[in-house]
Amino acid sequence: MRNPMDISGRKILVTGAAGGIGSAACRYLASLGATVIAADRDASVERIRDDIRSSGGKAESVVFNVADRNSVQEAAAAVQRSFGALDGIFANAGMSYERPALDHSEADWRTVMSVNLDGVFWTVQAFGRSMLEAGKGAIVMTASIAGVKAVRPELHVGYDVSKAGVAHMCRVLAAEWAKSGVRVNAVGPGYTDTVMLAEVGRTQPAVMKQWLDDTPVGRLIKPEEIASAAAFLLSDAASGVTGHLLMVDGGYSIA
């Protein structure tokens, strides 16, 4: 009997693959034998592909902007021509920023919504189509603690609302696509040890202290811990799970 955690041979798209969580997810999924299609708007994603290949894993890369629906659709068509239907999507690309609510310009609001919310929808719509036609597959989106709780002390209302939108998109699509054999779930990272947060630790130690004090496990989450949660949701071990937001936050959202 196949181990339900076994994702070897599965073709999985990862967006935001040049970043901290996305690159960890690509490496983790490839280490389990999946063929990873590493996607980002940043062409440095090709380095992630090459690293995986040089460690014996299977990876391809594709460059597109999730906020540009035409660019997403063209990439999805090219990936389908090369690989056929995908088995999994980790729609993880996202951006953050800091700004009080009253200082948000229309451009600030539209930019974060177009990447974090529209971008996830365009990705799962374009790349999910072949999975729906095939009647199988799993989708995981990246939400955030900021989508379920008012985080402190940083201010980014647009980011928070975009991530709450991702969590609800996951529930609604899970219900719409349940009978088609495609599951849709989300991961909710807490403060995760990526380059961006390392910078905060160096320049704003009081902010880092507050984050750690508010996180029951008292440490940052490792990108690999988000990756393994996503791998579970992408695997058949989660065959009964759809429409679920799995918080990977060291207890932040329950404290």
Ligand X SMILES: NC(=O)c1ccc[n+]([C@@H]2O[C@H](COP(=O)([O-])OP(=O)(O)OC[C@H]3O[C@@H](n4cnc5c(N)ncnc54)[C@H](O)[C@@H]3O)[C@@H](O)[C@H]2O)c1
Q: Is 159 a catalytic residue?
A: yes
Q: How far is the CB of 115 from ligand X (least distance, A)?
A: 4
Q: How far is the CB of 235 from ligand X (least distance, A)?
A: 20
Q: Are 66 and 93 in contact (CB under 8 A)?
A: yes
Choosing from 7, 11, 14, 16, the residue that interacts with ligand X (CB under 6 A) is 16
Q: How far is the CB of 59 from ligand X (least distance, A)?
A: 15
Choosing from 14, 19, 126, 215, the residue that interacts with ligand X (CB under 6 A) is 19
Among residue numbers 217 through 246, which ones bind ligand X (CB under 6 A)?
A: none
Binding mask 129-148 for ligand X (x = CB under 6 A): -------------x-x----
Choosing from 31, 51, 83, 95, the residue that interacts with ligand X (CB under 6 A) is 95
Q: How far is the CB of 3 from ligand X (least distance, A)?
A: 28
Q: Is 196 in the site for ligand X (CB under 6 A)?
A: yes
Tell me which of 28, 159, 191, 252 is the catalytic residue. 159
Closest by alpha carbon to 56, among 36, 42, 85, 84?
Answer: 36
Q: Is 21 in the site for ligand X (CB under 6 A)?
A: yes
Choosing from 61, 192, 215, 242, the residue that interacts with ligand X (CB under 6 A) is 192
Q: Is 96 in the site for ligand X (CB under 6 A)?
A: yes
Interface residues toward ligand X, by CB under 6 A: 15-16, 18-22, 40-42, 65-67, 92-96, 115, 119, 142, 144, 189, 191-192, 194, 196-197
Give catalytic residues, as residue numbers: 159
